[in-house]
Amino acid sequence: MAHHLCSGRMDVDLRHLRGFLAVAEEGGFTAAGRRLHVAQPTLTRNIRALEETLGVRLFDRTTRRTELTAKGAELHRALVPLLRQLDAVLDEMCEGERLRLGFSWGLPDGLARLAARFDGETGVSVEFVRCDSPAARLETGDVDLALLRGTRLPRGLRSAFLYDDSRVAAVPAFWPLAARRELSWAELADWPLVVNTRSGVTTPDMWPPGERPVVGAECGNYDEWLEKVALGLGVGTAPAATARRYSHPEVRFVPLSDGPAVSTHLAYPSHGAHPRAALLANVAAREGVALRDGSERG
């Protein structure tokens, strides 16, 4: 939404005033455009619109220089303290603001670092909220964004794709499978499957009809899932990055040679989302696999 300063019949766009200050302080349109990350033609149009609205010339322009007119210098002197005060008020509005990010299990290794950087750059902190539900409580409004996995996300959400992760098999440590260096997706179907019905990434219908595993046990969260595998109630699969973070002395994670990748997204409501939700999701998407691996983006 555009900011406007209104005085009687005048309707002046705030971005035009900021453009005017940049040109005045940088001494030209090219440098001012770089400072504002605005194309020079756009900045030129904005200054022309401001001059037409005020009915005065603000700059004397030649092919070699751009200088303030007397009216321009007067406006510059008045605007500097006004916009400084406005910026201070707007900054204060952001203080204490937070984004609640829901997750069911396995936060990406680099997400905490990104959240700290986001706080430093925007003044909006990120609070991680553990939630065992299919949409990590986005559907109830308890969180502003959610880390979701899989290709079929709930309706009514927008999402930013972060990365694909390879999949590993989780098998009881005392089963013969635990001695294997690698397993195939097809042979997992010969064993009972432990299914996390709320936030898991593996269900029997991921195998072809007639070749699907039986369900050995069901549960509602990752910790229960891991314990049921440890008890020998069946096998399961998980993203490789998650397996690096979570271990269990009675569970062995074995690489899968051909398992389907696990897609990871940051999702937020299509309507009524927090104003900063899309920004955080897009920043995270640009980091991509660096989030998964906990590495700096190169």
The answer as to whether 180 is a domain residue is yes
Higher pLDDT, 253 or 86: 253
Q: Which two tokens stand for residue 154?
A: 């709930």
pLDDT band at 93 (very low <50, low <70, confident <90, very high): low
Share of the chain above pLDDT 70, in %: 93
- Looking at residue 94, what is its pLDDT? 62
- Looking at residue 278, what is its pLDDT? 94
The predicted model gives 168-180 an average pLDDT of 96
The answer as to whether 4 is a domain residue is no
Residues of the domain holding 31: 9-93
Q: Which of 12-16, 88-92, 179-183, 228-232 has the lowest mean pLDDT?
A: 88-92
pLDDT at 241 over 70: yes
Q: Are residues 205 and 143 in the same domain?
A: no
153-190 CB burial, b ≥16 within 10 A, e <16: beeebbbbebbebebbbbbbeeeebbeeeebebeebbe
Q: What is the CATH number of the domain that holds 80?
A: 1.10.10.10
Q: Are residues 280 and 156 in the same domain?
A: yes
Instruction: Domain count for the chain, please give it.
Output: 3
The CA distance from 23 to 30, in Å, is 8
The answer as to whether 232 is a domain residue is yes
- Looking at residue 6, what is its pLDDT? 47
C-alpha to C-alpha distances, 279 to 77, 97, 266, 275, nearest whole angstrom: 34, 14, 11, 8
* 3-class SS of residue 145: strand
Q: What is the CATH number of the domain that holds 242?
A: 3.40.190.10
The answer as to whether 3 is a domain residue is no
Q: Are residues 232 and 86 in the same domain?
A: no
Q: Are residues 114 and 242 in the same domain?
A: no
The predicted model gives 135-163 an average pLDDT of 87
Q: Backbone dihedral region of 252: left (phi > 0), alpha (psi from -120 to 50 degrees) or beta?
A: beta
pTM: 0.70
Name every residue whose Cβ is closer than 8 Å to that of residue 238 and which is 6 or more positions away in sequence.
Answer: 106, 167, 168, 170, 201, 202, 246, 253
pLDDT band at 62 (very low <50, low <70, confident <90, very high): confident
Higher pLDDT, 238 or 65: 238
Q: Are residues 288 and 152 in the same domain?
A: yes
Q: Are residues 194 and 149 in the same domain?
A: no
pLDDT band at 84 (very low <50, low <70, confident <90, very high): confident
The predicted model gives 187-205 an average pLDDT of 95
Higher pLDDT, 19 or 12: 19
pLDDT band at 133 (very low <50, low <70, confident <90, very high): confident
Question: 234 near 192, Cβ under 8 Å?
Answer: yes
Q: Are residues 140 and 288 in the same domain?
A: yes
pLDDT at 191 over 90: yes
Higher pLDDT, 147 or 86: 147
Q: Are residues 30 and 65 in the same domain?
A: yes
pLDDT band at 47 (very low <50, low <70, confident <90, very high): very high
